A and B are shown apart, each in its own frame.
Chain A
Amino acid sequence: AQKVTQAQTEISVVEKEDVTLDCVYETRDTTYYLFWYKQPPSGELVFLIRRNSFDEQNEISGRYSWNFQKSTSSFNFTITASQVVDSAVYFCALPMNYGGSQGNLIFGKGTKLSVKP
């Protein structure tokens, strides 16, 4: 079965600290994709990144970076020099890869990040 675990329910940091959000996934597939979404206090879900399992290079986008490690089935998300605007719930997601439900996203429970000034 496919599963996504975000063990950190809530994290609180002070502005300018670096913070890493953990994501551990389970899948039997050799080829798969992983996603991160952000849900700010306003409630919408915002796409952050998509990663193919073939590509294990770390991804960097401004203050955001993602570390993908197939050996540990992890796809962790780091925010460098956090800002108050980063306060949100962050979700890691894995698409189902079989049958009629192929493509349906399985979400982790999310990590609520609070960045205090």
Chain B
Amino acid sequence: AQSVTQLDSQVPVFEEAPVELRCNYSSSVSVYLFWYVQYPNQGLQLLLKYLSGSTLVESINGFEAEFNKSQTSFHLRKPSVHISDTAEYFCAVSDRGGSYIPTFGRGTSLIVHP
């Protein structure tokens, strides 16, 4: 079984400031790692994923996340946020074989102030 811990329920930040959303996971097997974003009244959209290879993965809109196996972490970062980044962010894991059922964290609400 896997579990995901998102340490911050809410992260307020000013526009153009850097931000880090933290995610730790536990699993007894190898996993895939994901960040999803949810805008108000919408479903979840994939932001980025780690499957294998380079531990640093990037999204098309400037977010990046780094897989750290020793710390079992997959923190999400952006060097300069925009108002439009205000949303709920979910970290997720799924095992590489077997059930492929994604397990999600509680989400972190990123609030970008002007």
Q: Do A and B bind each other?
A: no
**Residues of A participating in the B interface, judged by any CB pair closer than 8 Å:** none
